[in-house]
C-alpha cells in the first residue's frame, strides 16, 4: 500500500485502500488542486472538463473526514440529472466496498422515479452518512422530515451551470437554507455564468477558485472539422453530411430546447430517424429515449448540453455541432462524448462568421481544425473563412486599381459601359498576371 503519489496527502488507511483498489497512481490536475484544499476544509469552486477525475477529487477527501460512529448525514452530493446522480452513487458504493466498510458506511441514492413512501420509511429508520441525489427529491425528503441535513459537514454542487440551465438552482437554495451555515461548499462547474454569481456570493465567502485547462483539451485521435453554413439551413447541411458518414451513433448539439425540437422536426421531415434528449422531456420520456438509444433504435440524437455532461451515452462515434456553443468549455464537453477509451472520433462543426472568435480561442488551446465543404455527400478540404475573406478583399483591391487605369471618355457614347467593363477586366487580368509573376521570381 501507499506505492502511489497520493501519499503526499494526509489521508487515512481506509481512503488509501480505496485509491489502491481503484488503481490510481498519479492524481489528475484537478485532483492535485482540489484534494489538499478539501482536506483543509476549504470551500471551493472547481472548473474542469469531462473525464478529468473530478468526482474522486471531492469524494476522496470527504470519505477521509467521515465519522462512522456518528449516526447522521455527513455529506451531500447533488447532481442535475438522475443519470448523473446514479453514476456518482455507483462510485460511492464502489469506494465503500474497496474500503471494506460495507457494513459501516451508509450511502443512499435520493432521486425521483422511485416509490416516495418507501424512501421516506428507509431514510427515517436508518439515516445514511452520505446522500447522493437530485435537488428536487432531496428537498422533498427534507420537507417530509425523512432527512435531517443540518449536521452535515459538506455539500457538493456538481455541474452547477447545468443545474442553473435546468432550473434547479432554486431547489438547491431551499436545501442550503436548511443546513448549517458553517458548511464546507464544493461547487463544480464547466463555466461560471453571470447568472450563477448571486448564488455563489450567497453561500461561499472567499472560496478557493481552481480552474484546470489541460494542455490537450481533446484526444489526439479526434478530428475537428469545420463546415461553413453560408446562410444555409442547418438541417439541409446535416442531411448532406449524413450521406457521407456512417456513424455508430452521432449526437447533434444545439444551444437550447427550442432549437433542438425545431431541428429534430426538420430532420424527421427529411426522413432521418432521429431521437431527442433535452431537459424539457419528462423523466419517463427521457428514460424511454435512453433505452431506445441503448437499443440502437436511432443513429442520430439531437440534444442540448444536458447530453454533454448530465447523461452518459455510450458508443458515440460522431459529434455534430448544429450550433457552435458560446463557451470554450462547452465545446470541450460536447466533443468529449466521443473518442473515448483510445477510440477515434469526429467532431463536425457548422459555423458562421460569428463563431470565428471561439474557433480562434480553441486553436490557441491546441485544437486543430480542418475546413471542409460538403457537396452531394462528398468532402472537399477548403480554405478557412478568414483566408477566403482576404482573397475576396485582394480581388476587390485589384478591381479598384484596374478602374483607376481606365480613363472615362469626355463624351459618352452608346455602349460605353460595356467598353469600360471590358477595359477594367483586361486591366484586372494584367494586374493578376503581374502579381503572379512577382511571386514566381
Q: Tell me: the pLDDT tens digits for 290-331? A: 899 888 899 999 999 887 777 778 888 999 999 999 888 889
| The pLDDT of residue 286 | 86
Distance CA 154, CA 58 (A): 10
| The pLDDT of residue 42 | 96
3-state secondary structure of 380: strand
Q: Which helix (H) or strand (E) holds 41?
A: none
* Secondary structure (DSSP) of 153-216: -EEEE-SHHHHHHTT-HHHHHHHHTTS-TT-EEEEE-S---GGGHHHHHHH-SS-EEEE---S-
| The pLDDT of residue 218 | 62
Percentage of the chain lying above the pLDDT 90 cut: 56
Distance CA 337, CA 319 (A): 7
Domain range 5-211, its CATH number among 2.40.10.410, 3.40.50.300, 3.40.50.620, 3.40.50.970 = 3.40.50.300
Average pLDDT over residues 143-157: 96
Average predicted confidence (pLDDT) for the chain: 86
Query: DSSP strand E in 21-111: where?
Result: 44-47, 75-78, 107-110
Q: Which residue, 246, 249, 280, 244, is CA-closest to 262? A: 280
pLDDT class of 422 with cuts at 50, 70, 90: confident
Planar angle of CA 256, 52, 95, nearest 5 degrees = 110
User: How is domain 222-385 classified at the CATH fold level?
Assistant: Rossmann fold (3.40.50)
Q: Tell me: the pLDDT tens digits for 233-280? A: 999 999 999 999 988 899 999 999 999 999 999 999 999 999 999 888
What are the boundaries of each domain within the chain?
Answer: 5-211, 222-385, 408-441
Domain 5-211 matches domain 222-385 at the CATH topology level:
yes
- Which of 146-150, 168-172, 255-259, 383-387 is the least confident region? 383-387
Q: Tell me: the pLDDT tens digits for 366-412? A: 899 999 999 888 899 987 655 555 554 455 566 666 656 665 665 55
Q: Tell me: the pLDDT tens digits for 56-114? A: 999 999 999 999 899 999 999 999 998 899 999 999 999 999 999 999 999 999 998 88
Amino acid at each position: 500500500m501507499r506505492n502511489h503519489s497520493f501519499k503526499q496527502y494526509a489521508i487515512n488507511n481506509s481512503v488509501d485502500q480505496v485509491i489502491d483498489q481503484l488503481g490510481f497512481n498519479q492524481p489528475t490536475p484537478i485532483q492535485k488542486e482540489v484534494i489538499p484544499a478539501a482536506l483543509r476544509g476549504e470551500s471551493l469552486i472547481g472548473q474542469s472538463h469531462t473525464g478529468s477525475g473530478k468526482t474522486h477529487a471531492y469524494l476522496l477527501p470527504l470519505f477521509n473526514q467521515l465519522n462512522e460512529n456518528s449516526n447522521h448525514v455527513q455529506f451531500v452530493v447533488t447532481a442535475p440529472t438522475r443519470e448523473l446522480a446514479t453514476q456518482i452513487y455507483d462510485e460511492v458504493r464502489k469506494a465503500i466496498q474497496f474500503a471494506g466498510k460495507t457494513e459501516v458506511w451508509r450511502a443512499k441514492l435520493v432521486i425521483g422515479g422511485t416509490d416516495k413512501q418507501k424512501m421516506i420509511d428507509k431514510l427515517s429508520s436508518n439515516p445514511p452518512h452520505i446522500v447522493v441525489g437530485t435537488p428536487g427529491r432531496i428537498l422533498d425528503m427534507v420537507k417530509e422530515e425523512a432527512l435531517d441535513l443540518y449536521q452535515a459537514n459538506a455539500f457538493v454542487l456538481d455541474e452547477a451551470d447545468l443545474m442553473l440551465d435546468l432550473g434547479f438552482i432554486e431547489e438547491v437554495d431551499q436545501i442550503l437554507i436548511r443546513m448549517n451555515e458553517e458548511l464546507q461548499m464544493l461547487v463544480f462547474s464547466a463555466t461560471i455564468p453571470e447568472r450563477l454569481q448571486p448564488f455563489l456570493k450567497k453561500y461561499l465567502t472567499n472560496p478557493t477558485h481552481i480552474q484546470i485547462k489541460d494542455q490537450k483539451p481533446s484526444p489526439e485521435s479526434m478530428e475537428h472539422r469545420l463546415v461553413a453554413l453560408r446562410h444555409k439551413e442547418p438541417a439541409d447541411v446535416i442531411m448532406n453530411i449524413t450521406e457521407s458518414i456512417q456513424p455508430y451513433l452521432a449526437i447533434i448539439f444545439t444551444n437550447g430546447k427550442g432549437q433542438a425540437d425545431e431541428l429534430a422536426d426538420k430532420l424527421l421531415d427529411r426522413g432521418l430517424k432521429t431521437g431527442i434528449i433535452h431537459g424539457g422531456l419528462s423523466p419517463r420520456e427521457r428514460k424511454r429515449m435512453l433505452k431506445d438509444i441503448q437499443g440502437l433504435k436511432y443513429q442520430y440524437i439531437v440534444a442540448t448540453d444536458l447530453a454533454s455532461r448530465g447523461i452518459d451515452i455510450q458508443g458515440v462515434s460522431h459529434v455534430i455541432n448544429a450550433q457552435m456553443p458560446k463557451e470554450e468549455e462547452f465545446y470541450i464537453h460536447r466533443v468529449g462524448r466521443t473518442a473515448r477509451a483510445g477510440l477515434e472520433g469526429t467532431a463536425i462543426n457548422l459555423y458562421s462568421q460569428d463563431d470565428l472568435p471561439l474557433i480562434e480561442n480553441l486553436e490557441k488551446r491546441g485544437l486543430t481544425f480542418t475546413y471542409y465543404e460538403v457537396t452531394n455527400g462528398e468532402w472537399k478540404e477548403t480554405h478557412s473563412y478568414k483566408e477566403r475573406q482576404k482573397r475576396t478583399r485582394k480581388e476587390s483591391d485589384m478591381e479598384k486599381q484596374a478602374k483607376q487605369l481606365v480613363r472615362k471618355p469626355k463624351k459618352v457614347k452608346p455602349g460605353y459601359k460595356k467598353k469600360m467593363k471590358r477595359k477594367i477586366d483586361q486591366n484586372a487580368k494584367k494586374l493578376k498576371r503581374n502579381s503572379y509573376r512577382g511571386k514566381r521570381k
